[in-house]
Chain A
């Protein structure tokens, strides 16, 4: 555990968020506050996963809801039709992520698809799944979605206490951060950054660009699919517009970009800056101005893109956040 000896604002942010999680596990906070913290951790988890392929490796994806939807629908359908516990469902979700990487990632990376072409391929693939989920409504419940039955059985990962879910997502997020940090200490981390900075130069020095891109997408997809499975477990309800929509893809990507997709803490920072504010505005002004939060968010995105184009973490932490 080398990285526990680190110092610096990025590391203090990480410790602080863990302290927040532990405190909210001990104290009995209002349900709603807990919900916002869980959502923030969920977004932090998904955006960190997104950053593996899009931040460190530089292949911007606008279709990560593809993996979220695959994970959540795999878990939900198995539970709904065959009464299989989500613990096994998560394994199937991981398999689904591997399969999708084979279908989307392997052909596009083999062809040397990059830049806007890769962005578009992911966007298109996510949209295909969205339309398929709506078209096959006999199985998936169509646009109305699937409401799963609640039995309160811990074996099916159904708990009465919201705090259990917080513990679950917080552990997942910690695990992800540790794995990401560990990988980026090794040679592969430098390979991925080299691919981001200059793909042709990376090929020239002998890096197997195709292999490492696929690996990055695979890792990112698996984490994201597990995040999708968590959504099913937590909400007990899924619909195409909540897990497969372009909106979610955009949200995951921009959360990471606002925080700084090239740093390990950046996506988390973005999630904890954006999600609570958005939720607050939604509750405070939601009834009159339901569209206001996302509109302000849009302006904010353009503003941040112009003043801190590589994200807030670099802006705030003064370059201390790059992967080392």
Chain B
């Protein structure tokens, strides 16, 4: 491997890491406010990939411009999902929650299969492949743009959660639900908003990833798995830990995917996850649990 390839892979790894970060923050948010793992999170990403795909192929709507629309659509979907479904199942035993999420996975996957078929679909936007040349290194413009937007959204989210009242409420609910009810926080509305933001993040990741990836009905499950790896490796609720973990997994996927195959890269990521958890059960940067 020469230096150029190495740096290309490095950039690719950072990009993947950024996307995983964005996606898994949503997963973390749901776990925080509801103490439930959304096993169908990847399926919502798949949904938004298809939405962006259709917007481009029907009206030539650029996926990057489509971002705000995906954000709003997925936000309302999440808000609705909470009031219609998640609000009821949070009181049910864990097995019934698993049943509900598997049900959601079956519905969404097969709906996509029914509407759009099992083909791998990808967009062909010419400017996405134009290289951004820095010295010897060529970075396709699409990837650079995706990375830039992903990082910006992540920073905005961070500011939102720490500087605005709504964000502080969301963090309060995820720290202690009962205590936040006592001080007068409307936990239902806050949780619905958090679920909305969480799905919106999955939606944004989908729109960002579409110009450089292809979409098919089963694309979601791999993302759900990687997302869960990232939030557990980082230590649940620890944003910096998750950042480190997503970069680590991104690098691993990038290098192992190039050297071996993408299947082996996934297998390797899962093995690393198991080994790290054996040595540090609380996650890379997590405190005592």
Contacts and interface: CB of A to CB of B under 8 A. Distances in A.
Given A112-B281, A298-B106, 17 more contacts: A124-B270, A131-B267, A257-B99, A258-B99, A261-B95, A290-B114, A294-B109, A294-B110, A298-B104, A298-B105, A298-B108, A299-B107, A301-B99, A301-B100, A302-B107, A306-B88, A310-B95
Interface string A285-307: 00001111011011111101110
Interface stretch (B155-163, B194-202, B224-232): B224-232
B4 interface: no
A127 B39 CA distance: 14
B181 interface: no
Nearest to A302: B103
Bin chain B's interface residue count.
35 or more
Interface in A110-127: 111-113, 115-117, 119-121, 123-125, 127
Given A111-B281, A115-B94, A121 B274 contact: yes
B75 interface: no
A120 to B, nearest CB: 5
A315 interface: no
Interface stretch (B122-130, B207-215, B258-266): B258-266
Contacts of B264: 131-132, 135
Contacts of A11: none
Nearest to A61: B98
Name which of A111, A297, A302 has the most chain B CB atoms within 10 A of its CB: A302
Contact of B225 (A124, A135, A289, A306): A124
B273 to A, nearest CB: 7
Nearest to A295: B110
Given A127-B266, A305-B96, A305-B99, A291 B111 contact: yes
Contacts of B113: 290-291
B19 to A, nearest CB: 19
30 contacts: A54-B95, A60-B95, A60-B98, A62-B98, A107-B278, A111-B278, A116-B94, A120-B225, A124-B225, A124-B228, A124-B270, A127-B266, A128-B271, A131-B263, A131-B266, A131-B267, A246-B221, A253-B98, A290-B114, A291-B110, A291-B114, A292-B110, A297-B106, A298-B102, A301-B103, A301-B106, A302-B85, A306-B88, A306-B89, A309-B92
